[in-house]
């Protein structure tokens, strides 16, 4: 039976700003955690910077060692909104992170000299604090930052890799009308431009008509949140690869924060072939704000009130 520990695994309250959308926003255990005890946290520091730090577990496997903290990367972020993003390891063993933009930083999402509005890819397994993989798409292309793996994202909440295929899914929250799911095949060489703020979803945003789309990677799926519906922000999830519900295998789950529904899509050959609404089975949940995946591929979701739910057979 699962139980809660009285002592938190890690408490970094004194280092974290929680104003607005800031806070402790993501963490990822090293793929070799059972041997090296390392994990990584994504938080907003007291100066407002997006910060990735490395920690290690203590001699007690239920408690981390706060003194082991090492800042891996710190990215200035001037605003209290859009501090989300995520940190996670890819199937290649590299660490990926997705720092968000916030107005008036949003036009920089397609600017490769800054790190906001991007998916970054770094190697934390060799030289400390990190090195840039030689296969990153902007290596040697100054003045672009070599850490960048993909760009043109507004508010990636969140990204995940299909644990079976290695494909990458990114849920990118829109500005005024469209929410999107971006997709990248496993083994891709990176460098995709997902279009923000020229595009919102598959639609022109700046300028509102006649925008140049050459070279952009458009989303595989989008949905609207106009003034007359309940939709507002996409909450990205995972491709289900668990054993409890084999009928759902291969489906990418996502939700909407305001509307409270849970949907899934199946992507074949880079094209969405099936959209399903799971609200009749799961019900409507208030303020869904994240998904999670356990070691067996089962999926969980959280709501803003603090509850955690597991997707499970009835």
Domain coordinates in residue numbering, the chain: 243-314
- pLDDT given for residue 3 in this prediction: 64
Average pLDDT over residues 230-247: 95
Residue with tokens 């003034």: 227
Lowest mean pLDDT among 129-138, 169-178, 225-234, 246-255: 225-234
Q: What are phi and psi of 108, to 5 degrees?
A: -80, -5
What is the mean predicted confidence (pLDDT) over 97-109?
A: 78
β-pair partners for 236: 254
Lowest mean pLDDT among 2-11, 62-71, 157-166, 253-262: 2-11
Kindly state the percentage of the chain with pLDDT values over 90: 80
Let me know how long the chain is. 314
- Distance (Å, rounded) from C-alpha 217 to C-alpha 150? 10
Reply yes or no on whether the pLDDT at 305 is more than 60: yes
Model confidence band, residue 4 (pLDDT cutoffs 50, 70, 90): confident
Q: What is the chain's mean pLDDT, rounded?
A: 92
Give the number of other Cβ atoms within 10 Å of residue 166's Cβ.
15
What's the rounded Cα separation, in Å, for the pair 20 and 293? 26
pLDDT band at 166 (very low <50, low <70, confident <90, very high): very high
Stretch 94-103: mean pLDDT? 86
Percent above pLDDT 70 for the chain: 95
Catalogue the long-range contacts made by 273-277 (C-beta closer than 8 Å, 24 or more residues apart): 275/221, 276/251
Give the mean model confidence (pLDDT) for residues 37-55: 94
SS3 label, residue 109: helix
Whole-Å CA distances, 172 to 125, 199, 210, 213, 232: 28, 12, 22, 18, 12
What's this model's pTM, rounded to 2 decimal places?
A: 0.94
- The larger pLDDT score, comparing residue 100 to residue 25, is at 25
Cβ–Cβ contacts within 10 Å for residue 12, how many? 17
pLDDT on residue 77 = 81
Distance of CA 30 to the CA centre of its chain: 17
User: For residue 227, what pLDDT is reported?
Assistant: 62
SS3 label, residue 87: strand
**Structure confidence at residue 22 (pLDDT):** 83
- pLDDT above 90 for 76: no
Q: Which two tokens stand for residue 157?
A: 């909440």
Sign of CA dihedral 209, 213, 216, 221: positive
Q: To which residue do tokens 């095949």 refer? A: 185
Considering only residues 214 and 22, tell me which one the structure prediction assigns the higher pLDDT.
214
Helices (H), 82-196: none
Query: Whose structure tokens read 């009308």?
Result: 177
């Amino acid at each position: 039976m699962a139980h809660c520990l009285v002592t938190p695994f890690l408490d970094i309250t004194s280092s974290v700003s929680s104003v607005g959308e800031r806070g402790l926003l993501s963490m990822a255990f090293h793929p070799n955690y059972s041997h090296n005890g390392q994990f990584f946290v994504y938080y907003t520091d007291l100066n407002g910077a997006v910060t990735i730090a490395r920690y290690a577990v203590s001699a007690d496997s239920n408690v981390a060692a706060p003194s082991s903290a090492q800042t891996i990367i710190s990215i200035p972020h001037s605003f209290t909104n859009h501090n989300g993003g995520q940190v996670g390891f890819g199937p290649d063993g590299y660490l990926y992170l997705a720092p968000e933009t916030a107005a008036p930083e949003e036009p920089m999402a397609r600017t490769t000299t800054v790190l906001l509005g991007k998916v970054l890819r770094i190697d934390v397994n060799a030289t400390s604090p990190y090195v840039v993989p030689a296969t990153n798409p902007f290596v040697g292309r100054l003045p672009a930052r070599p850490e960048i793996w993909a760009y043109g994202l507004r508010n990636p909440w969140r990204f995940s890799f299909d644990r079976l295929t290695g494909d990458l899914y990114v849920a990118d929250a829109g500005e005024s009308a469209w929410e999107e799911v971006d997709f990248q095949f496993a083994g891709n060489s990176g460098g995709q431009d997902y279009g923000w703020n020229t595009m919102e979803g598959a639609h022109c945003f700046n300028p509102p008509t006649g925008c140049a789309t050459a070279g952009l990677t458009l989303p595989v799926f989008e949905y609207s949140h106009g003034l007359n519906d309940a939709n507002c922000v996409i909450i990205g999830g995972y491709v289900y690869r668990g054993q409890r519900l084999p009928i759902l295998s291969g489906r990418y789950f996502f939700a909407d924060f305001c509307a409270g529904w849970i949907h899934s899509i199946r992507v074949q050959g880079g094209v969405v072939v099936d959209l399903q609404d799971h609200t009749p089975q799961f019900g409507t949940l208030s303020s869904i704000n994240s998904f999670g995946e356990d070691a067996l591929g089962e999926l969980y979701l959280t709501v803003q009130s603090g509850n955690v739910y597991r997707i499970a057979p009835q």
